[in-house]
Chain A
């Protein structure tokens, strides 16, 4: 290396005027250009926004309702099961207004209609002549009626005042000579302390019976137990009027808030997706880069290994692993990464193989760049677009597969209900409670379409050869 003193160097152009003016146009880099073209693709951009909205709900959705009764008190929550969806603003427009068409016994409905507790429950469907004359001859043979009810008030009525089976139990008693309590479903036995608490909350409808048991310590003060009927919504939700209660997506059959459960399930599958996709990317790209760049014996061995792994169906791996190790989240991640990394491996290998003989790589090597520098600084940024697209498209693929397998019951998380499981539960009761099926199904449909549109848009945006074509 020659040593040149800086003072010996003279600027040649110092005296002359440069007539070129600097360029006015803004410099656009590769990513800026990709982003610009991505924004122009309307469908993909809308999909991107939808994904952002969904992510917002996945992160914050579970905390928005602040409803946790199904974990605190599963028995009370079970009485609030299968409520239909009701949303504050939309209810005025006629959607999700918390009404439902139900079928119930004639005598039960008549009783409901005339009782004080049952005012305003039946919205339509009750024939006027039957109300005027309960013994109306036209309806003598009719035992069941279909009516439109406010489902929240109706649920409150049947869980706190009179159960749906009241008259059938009474009839059974008459036929069989048994003595079953027709109110058994609604009455509760409270201790004195519990009774005081409920009294102070003003939730007691009436006292059916007071039981007295002897106090072995102090015979003069016997224990009292109160058999009462409680206003269900008042005592378990703290609301005096059922019209003020809103479950946006309704409740599950165990009384959980479907809105909360849906986003919790979505969160699990997206978190697992994130883990799986990033592990796949790291492992696959590392191996792919090494075997694509260096080639040789390693490449040959990897070729065999990949062929064997790719011939194993994911379903088999998943089944065997869950049978052996249970179905915790870690096992799911392992099962999906064992076979999943080969896709990223193939992308990485192909890209590094393609670019390793380009002129700029030769140039870098001539300048003395090490192998790792060439791989990270020169080849990797060139392949990034394709890799990111591959990752963006593998997220929906994972969500798809995970939902399918949890629908089949092969994936069964211990303490979370994933979306696939929600659909499975919804399928079992779809004839009576369609909302339990429709909300999770709609969620997954929208999410999948949005992710695929987004991925396709990304693929086009990162492909510079399409520039100016569309």
Chain B
């Protein structure tokens, strides 16, 4: 187990270094402004060692993080990147948390329903819905929904979510009501993947021998399904639930672009468009870090919930 975590950690460091390396290959288009002293630029060049080899710069970057918690200086916002970036997380969480909390139980219910009613009309309806939402890109669903709900039928109060100033001006309830449409769309779009795997796992579990044994012991069909099959079917899905937390923290670029959320995803796009390398570096590192944590948690969850799995005890292939 420790060996596996160690390997993941090494992978994490290597990928972060790769990002750093590529970002440092970018041209530095800084043009010193005339007449004004170039203090901040020279200070940064001194502090981050811009004239040193890239490996040394990486060392300095890590040192600054460890000693001062300083991830670099943002070009487009003119302040410390970490401070600016972590401030945006609440906005992303606000829009993503409800869909996440709703979609997990709904997906499980729908998956179970489809598996129990296999090849009946309920299953067909669910399958078609899953097919459509998995196939059609989320941004298309979002844009079309905005068009119909806001412009055509005028049900939704706005096509984007309310900003902080709109919250104070137009009242709390108006602000909340702008969240309804995005939340419904995100929920609808995030259910299908999980529902599909629940359905596949459960149908597979229902054909196994222990189900036959359970029925032979005298359990009813429902008892057998919910006490035995469902438990086993949910084991492979648990890591996905934990990984979903990352999505909540990290925001979705498309969601935030569509509904004008001022969160981490839109900051990522800003960093890309404004070529803010320090910010890009932070976002990528943070994303990698979350991936690392979730991978470890997912592995741990396997060992916790499924005693048959002992991670690190040799590879299954």
Asked whether B284 lies within 8 Å of A316 as measured between CB atoms, the reply is: yes
- Shortest beta-carbon distance from A326 to chain B in Å: 12
Whether B19 is near chain A, meaning CB under 8 Å from some CB there, is yes
Q: Which of B265-317 contact A (CB under 8 A)?
A: 269, 272-273, 275, 280, 284, 287-288, 291, 317
Asked whether A410 lies within 8 Å of B272 as measured between CB atoms, the reply is: yes
From A320, A324, A452, residue with most partner B Cβ within 10 Å: A320
Whether A246 is near chain B, meaning CB under 8 Å from some CB there, is no
Whether A364 is near chain B, meaning CB under 8 Å from some CB there, is no
B contact patch SS = helix
Q: Which of A359-376 contact B (CB under 8 A)?
A: none
CB-nearest residue of chain A to B7: A307
Residues of A within 8 Å of B272, CB to CB, are: 319, 323, 410
Whether B14 is near chain A, meaning CB under 8 Å from some CB there, is yes
Report the Cα distance A32→B254, complex, angstroms: 43
- Shortest beta-carbon distance from B171 to chain A in Å: 25
Asked whether B11 lies within 8 Å of A445 as measured between CB atoms, the reply is: no
Asked whether A320 lies within 8 Å of B19 as measured between CB atoms, the reply is: yes
Q: Among A308, A410, A430, A448, point to the contact of B15 (Cβ < 8 A).
A: A308
Report the Cα distance A426→B135, complex, angstroms: 21
Given contacts A323-B272, A404-B254, A445-B140, contact A308 B22 (CB under 8 A): no
Report the Cα distance A343→B88, complex, angstroms: 34
CB-nearest residue of chain B to A399: B137
Asked whether B137 lies within 8 Å of A403 as measured between CB atoms, the reply is: yes
- Shortest beta-carbon distance from A464 to chain B in Å: 19
* Interface bin, chain A: 35 or more
CB-nearest residue of chain B to A303: B315
- Shortest beta-carbon distance from B79 to chain A in Å: 22
CB-nearest residue of chain A to B143: A427
Residues of B within 8 Å of A453, CB to CB, are: 131
Asked whether B317 lies within 8 Å of A448 as measured between CB atoms, the reply is: no
* Interface bin, chain B: 35 or more
Asked whether B147 lies within 8 Å of A437 as measured between CB atoms, the reply is: yes
Asked whether A449 lies within 8 Å of B132 as measured between CB atoms, the reply is: yes
Asked whether A430 lies within 8 Å of B257 as measured between CB atoms, the reply is: no
Report the Cα distance A404→B144, complex, angstroms: 14
Residues of A within 8 Å of B22, CB to CB, are: 320, 324
Given contacts A319-B280, A408-B269, A410-B272, contact A430 B135 (CB under 8 A): no
Whether B136 is near chain A, meaning CB under 8 Å from some CB there, is yes
CB-nearest residue of chain B to A443: B140
Residues of B within 8 Å of A438, CB to CB, are: 144, 147
Q: Which of A300-355 contact B (CB under 8 A)?
A: 307-308, 311-313, 315-316, 319-320, 323-324, 350, 353
- Contacts A/B (CB < 8 Å), 28 sampled: A308-B15, A312-B18, A313-B284, A319-B280, A320-B19, A320-B22, A320-B23, A320-B26, A323-B26, A323-B272, A323-B275, A324-B25, A324-B27, A407-B139, A407-B254, A408-B257, A408-B269, A409-B269, A410-B272, A423-B143, A427-B143, A430-B143, A430-B146, A430-B151, A441-B144, A444-B140, A449-B136, A452-B134
Residues of A within 8 A of B (CB): 307-308, 311-313, 315-316, 319-320, 323-324, 350, 353, 396, 400, 403-404, 407-410, 420, 423, 426-427, 430-431, 434, 437-438, 441, 444-445, 448-449, 451-453
Q: 10 additional contacts, CB 8 Å, given A315-B253, A404-B254, A410-B272?
A: A320-B23, A409-B273, A423-B140, A430-B151, A434-B152, A444-B136, A444-B140, A445-B136, A449-B136, A451-B135
Residues of B within 8 A of A (CB): 7, 11-12, 14-15, 18-19, 22-23, 25-27, 131-132, 134-140, 143-144, 146-147, 151-152, 253-254, 257, 269, 272-273, 275, 280, 284, 287-288, 291, 317
